[in-house]
Amino acid sequence: MEFSKPALSLEQQLQLLLDRGLIVNGIERANRYLEHIGYYRLSAYMIPHYENKATHHFKKNTRFDDILNVYIFDHKLRLLLLEAIERIEVSFRSQVSNSFANKLSAHAYLEPIHFDTRYKHDWLIKKIEDEMQKSKEVFIAHYKEKYNMPQLPPVWMAIHLLSFKELVLMYQHIKNNLVKKSIAYSYGLKEPVLTSWMRTLSDLRNLCAHHSRVWNRSFGSKAVLPKTTPARWLSAFPELIDIGNNHKISPHNSLFFHVVIIWYFISQMNQDSSWVARLVTLCDEYKIDMTHLGFPQKWRQDNYWRVK
């Protein structure tokens, strides 16, 4: 089938929404949002408001501001998620570099013997070499000026030249179990679970950084549930969540499990953290139905979310 839809002007886009039953108070203001956010981006937030998904006709009394409200909430939610993931990523980088350096050596990552054969060690070295050439970081300039052997920096510098996802891949293929398990145990987890959760957070971080929608989304990356229940965990992992219109979503594939994972790490790093409290405040401020994010109706009552 060939795509044949014509492009619409801002005025035509707004008229289309009006024709479909959307209430718009302030035509000029709505046009401004359509111009600077885009009809296509906003359309993802319209879906739950459709009375008929085939015709895209809106439910009675649906306002433009109802859609904009969720869009703004999603924006602020991404910022809150990014803040938490940054802290977790920094912690993970520190754990990997400390364990690698103290249990092996500062430059042990240069030797392929420390990684399993599935890992492209040559790629790792080339990646760090390339980043060294491009880097304007002061710590890299200092190493180049002061040292000529080895050519590449110690692990606690080198890992900062890798993306979060690349670091997770490096960790996953560490051959030395003493190194690998010590990092996982520092978080009270088994290695496969830590790898899965860090990979999941890396994917979520990329979605947030590229302004992708996280509200009402089913995620492709599916983190594993721990077979052995951690010391701090949910009283029970929820089943399918009914969000209405005979539609159910899995908390496992939704933002809920991502938030569970984030809170697991954050509450370990800081038992006085207000991160979940700020999440609750944000949801209440915008009157968001959290079931669209895979959250059970009474999720706040679980002791897992409470700080000391």
Residue 241 has pLDDT above 90, yes or no: no
- pLDDT above 70 as % of the chain: 98
Query: pLDDT for 19-78, tens place per residue?
Result: 999 999 999 999 999 999 999 999 999 998 999 888 999 999 999 999 999 999 999 999
pLDDT at 299: 92
pLDDT at 245: 66
Residue type, 224: V
Residue 128 has pLDDT above 80, yes or no: yes
Burial class from Cβ neighbours inside 10 Å (0-12, 13-18, 19+) for residue 153 reads buried
The answer for residues whose C-beta is within 8 angstroms of residue 290's C-beta and 6 or more apart is 283, 299
d(CA 251, CA 241): 7
Query: pLDDT for 182-207, tens place per residue?
Result: 999 999 999 999 999 999 999 999 99
pLDDT at 52: 86
Name the token pair of 98.
Answer: 């400390």
Residue spans per domain, the chain? 10-62, 77-86+218-305, 87-195
Q: Which residues of 256-285 are buried (b: 16+ CB within 10 A; e: fewer)?
A: bbbbbbbbbbbbbeeeebebbeebeeebee
Average pLDDT over residues 90-107: 95
**3-state secondary structure at position 58:** strand
Give the mean pLDDT of the chain. Answer: 93
Cα-based angle 53, 59, 62 (whole degrees, multiple of 5) = 125
Name the token pair of 212.
Answer: 């992708």
